[in-house]
Amino acid sequence: MIDFNRPAFVGKELDYIKDAVNRGMLCGDGAYTKMCSQWIQEKFQVNHVFLTTSCTHALEMAAYLCDLKPGDEVIMPSYTFVSTADAFVLRGARIVFVDIRPDTMNIDEKQIEGAVTSRTRVIVPVHYAGVACEMDTIMGIAKKYGLKVVEDAAQGVDAFYKGKALGTIGDFGCYSFHETKNYTMGEGGALLFQDVRYQEQAEILREKGTDRSKFFRGQVDKYRWVDYGSSYLPSELNAAYLYAQLEEYQRINKKRMDIYQYYHRNLKHLAEEGKIQQPFVPKECIHNAHMYYIKVRDITVRTKLIAYLREKGIMSVFHYVPLHSAPAGKKFGRFFGEDVYTTRESERILRLPMFYNLDMEDVKRIVDAVDGFKEF
């Protein structure tokens, strides 16, 4: 059986976990957490990085730091993971869903301005498959209407838009290190931002509402409850696993690219014959091979293809059920304009296996299997 995903393992993870144990500190913000944050800061040119327990939690922190009031509106695509919306719903916001572009599956930047109302506070671009949204346009709209931009860059670690790392362009960026993502710590994420004025509040929020971070730096002589907060610090065990992956990021990236390009080259004739569509990457984007998907004619063909591949021992998957059509989406949000592409394209997409430790022989087997499908 060829799995759809397996968490990356590059080699030093267990050594670093052992080292973390020997250092005698397993709670958050130890040596490995600091090394991971610093690595992200330097590699992606961003001033502030907080490692978190998930991207969902990074989004929750960003939503809190945006200082939303109940009834404020947040614009995002409906074609995304639930956490993108949940984090803002938790703050009492209403979600305004906007259609996607069929070529990248990202929010259609041309429709955002029409969705802005007097209650709009935030735009949340989701960089699907590590391919950037049209950020210049989005930042322009945000500036014009005084909105904040929270990038859901869960899939966008080590991907770029006009030379800038995804997650470093908006007011906040949120990364995921879940085991299904390119670099992992099992469950984990990071909150990124450039503006120092969020730093103190972010620290307090992440440390249960206390000024413990200041206490550790010797800036105050005792730590106290100073504001609302929660616990968003990952353990050193998880950070140690992640650090081993970040050190080898180029190796992980190269392997994923090799898989992506093999799929792309060898399935091209099916696209030329009009049987499938392949992913599109705008020229200003450098993607990170987060996923490889194809699009087939419709949901009927997709269902057949999934069953066919499974029979050949290959796991392929689809996502997402558009949020605006889900029970919570109806309760907490509305769709702006017409759903031309969100539902239709979400029913056509099929993701093929993609992970660091996937054997190239297996990739070949997958391509041959897709090639042999007769019912496109």
CB of 127 to ligand PLP, least distance (A): 8
Residue 210's φ and ψ, nearest 5 degrees, are: -110, 165
Beta bridge partners of 161: 164, 285
Does the protein bind ligand PLP through residue 104 (CB under 6 A)? no
80 binds ligand PLP (CB under 6 A): yes
The only residue of 104, 168, 176, 342 in contact with ligand PLP, by rule CB under 6 A = 176
| Pick 158 or 211: Cβ nearer ligand PLP | 158
Return the CA Rg of the chain.
21
State the nearest-atom distance from the C-beta of 324 to ligand PLP, in Å: 16
Among 77, 125, 170, 189, binds ligand PLP (CB under 6 A): 189
CB of 275 to ligand PLP, least distance (A): 27
- Return d(Cα 121, Cα 149) in angstroms, integer: 9
Ramachandran assignment for 159, one of left (phi > 0), alpha (psi -120 to 50 degrees), beta (any other): beta
Q: Is residue 84 a contact residue for ligand PLP (CB under 6 A)?
A: yes
- If the CB atoms of residues 140 and 186 are measured against ligand PLP, the closer one turns out to be 186
CB 226, min distance to ligand PLP, A: 27
- Residues in 20-79 that interact with ligand PLP by CB under 6 A: 54-56
**Binding test (CB under 6 A) with ligand PLP, winner from 33, 37, 83, 111:** 83
Let me know if 181 is a catalytic residue.
yes
User: Does the footprint of ligand PLP cover residue 81 (CB under 6 A)?
Assistant: yes
CB atoms within 10 A of CB 35: 18
Residue 61 or 154 with smaller CB distance to ligand PLP: 154
Instruction: Give the torsion through C-alpha atoms of 211, 213, 219, 221, to 10 deg.
Output: 60
Restricting to residues 193-222, which ones interact with ligand PLP according to CB under 6 A?
Answer: none
The closest alpha carbon to 156, from 164, 142, 166, belongs to: 166
Taking CB under 6 A as the rule, does residue 155 contact ligand PLP? Answer: yes
From 60, 108, 152, 345, residue interacting with ligand PLP (rule: CB under 6 A): 152
Nearer CB in complex with ligand PLP: 104/176: 176
Of residues 43, 148, 181, 312, which has the active-site annotation? 181
Of residues 289 and 369, the one with the C-beta less far from ligand PLP: 289
Binding residues with ligand PLP: total (CB under 6 A): 14
Min CB(33)–ligand PLP separation in Å: 16
Q: Which is nearer to ligand PLP, 56 or 213 (CB)?
A: 56
Cβ 179 to ligand PLP shortest distance, Å: 9
Closest contact distance (angstroms) between CB of 156 and ligand PLP is 9
Residues with catalytic annotation?
181
Which residues would be at the binding site for ligand PLP (CB under 6 A)? 54-56, 80-81, 83-84, 126, 152, 154-155, 176, 178, 189
